[in-house]
Structure 1
Amino acid sequence: MTGSHGLAAAQKGVQDSGNPTHFNFFRSALRGRQRVLWCANDPTVCLDREKNPWGGSTCCYQRFCKDTMSDPNHCGACGKTCAYGFVCCNGNCVDIQNDARNCGACFEECPGQSRCFYAMCDYGG
């Protein structure tokens, strides 16, 4: 086979084969990181730890379970969006640029009485 038909057939053969390939590895790795669960037929599946390994901190939004503990578009509840520049930390919208308990990232606490500026503890002394 030659031309674009041969290439398409060759790619299809590689994707369908049981042999591990870089393409299949990355496709499965990305699928695992998405943590997406379909809930259109049963909205309670998002809360059920038997059916959903992330249950308890998720909600059903537009047919998919959403993580309400870290998703900035569903922070603390379905559809509750964090303002621009804020990050969802443990279900709360947080300004990681200026929050001493979440400085630069969630749960990165500044020591002692240090303050957080520009996502760094005691920036500028």
Structure 2
Amino acid sequence: MNFLKLSFMLAMVLALAAITLSTEYTSQTSHFLPADHQMPTSFRGPGRFLAQNSRHAFTCDRHPKVCSMRGSQGPFCCNKKCVDVKTDKFNCGGCGKKCNYSKICCEGKCVSPLSNQKHCGRCNNNCGKGKPCVYGMCRYA
């Protein structure tokens, strides 16, 4: 009988803790969510129908201001993702413009860091006049 009482009390404490944590999480994250977004009512998360409807909540194609927030990957929206077209290898200079395997994106242009004089080894690493870029290093040999 004591074991049954103890089990019941433990279950009640855990349920109360879960409810408390759920309300704290809701109050802390509600200012990041759009006005029409609702938190899931189940501990398992939203159902399939609700998950399909709420996926678009934070994509930049529907909410362009997401890309200008602090912590964003970049100020431009390409394929529902925030990117910086000046440095992103898959959207270099514009959405969908990919750099080849051996090239990197510097200032919105695909360049070879192994031989480019202005971007030797990395972006904006200028070797200077008369110093060639060989294998991504200035003054090789």
Q: Write out per-residue CA displacement over residues 16-71 of structure 1, whole angstroms, 9 at most, x where no aligned residue.
A: 7xxxxxxxxxxxxxxxxxxxx730313x4377xxx44589x743222111110111
Structure 1 residue aligned with 2:113: 96
TM-score of the superposed pair, with normalisation by structure 1 = 0.57
Q: Higher helix fraction: Structure 1 or Structure 2?
A: 2
Q: 1:46 to 1:92 in 2, by over 3 A?
A: farther
- Aligned to 2:89, which of 49, 53, 72? 72
Structure 2 residue aligned with 1:20: none
Larger radius of gyration: 2
Paired with 1:119 and 1:88, the residues of 2 have a C-alpha distance of 15
Is the 1:59–1:77 Cα contact (8 Å) retained in structure 2?
A: no
Paired with 1:76 and 1:46, the residues of 2 have a C-alpha distance of 20
Task: Tell me the C-alpha RMSD between the 2 structures.
Answer: 3.1
The reply on whether 1:38 has 2:59 as its aligned counterpart is: yes
How do 1:1-125 and structure 2 match up within 5 A? 38-42=59-63, 44-45=64-65, 51-52=68-69, 58-124=75-141
Is the 1:87–1:95 Cα contact (8 Å) retained in structure 2?
A: yes
Identity of aligned residues (%): 31
Per the TM alignment, residue 101 of structure 1 is displaced from its structure 2 partner at its CA by: 0.7
User: Gapped runs of 5+ residues in structure 2?
Assistant: 1-17, 22-57
User: Gapped runs of 5+ residues in structure 1?
Assistant: 1-12, 17-36
TM-score of the superposed pair, with normalisation by structure 2 = 0.51
Paired with 1:72 and 1:41, the residues of 2 have a C-alpha distance of 24
How many residues align structurally? 87
Q: SS at the partner of 2:105? A: strand
Paired with 1:103 and 1:41, the residues of 2 have a C-alpha distance of 39
Q: SS at the partner of 1:45? A: helix
After superposing on structure 2, the runs of 4+ consecutive aligned residues of structure 1 that deviate more than 2 Å are 44-47, 51-55
Q: SS at the partner of 2:128? A: coil
Q: SS at the partner of 2:113? A: coil
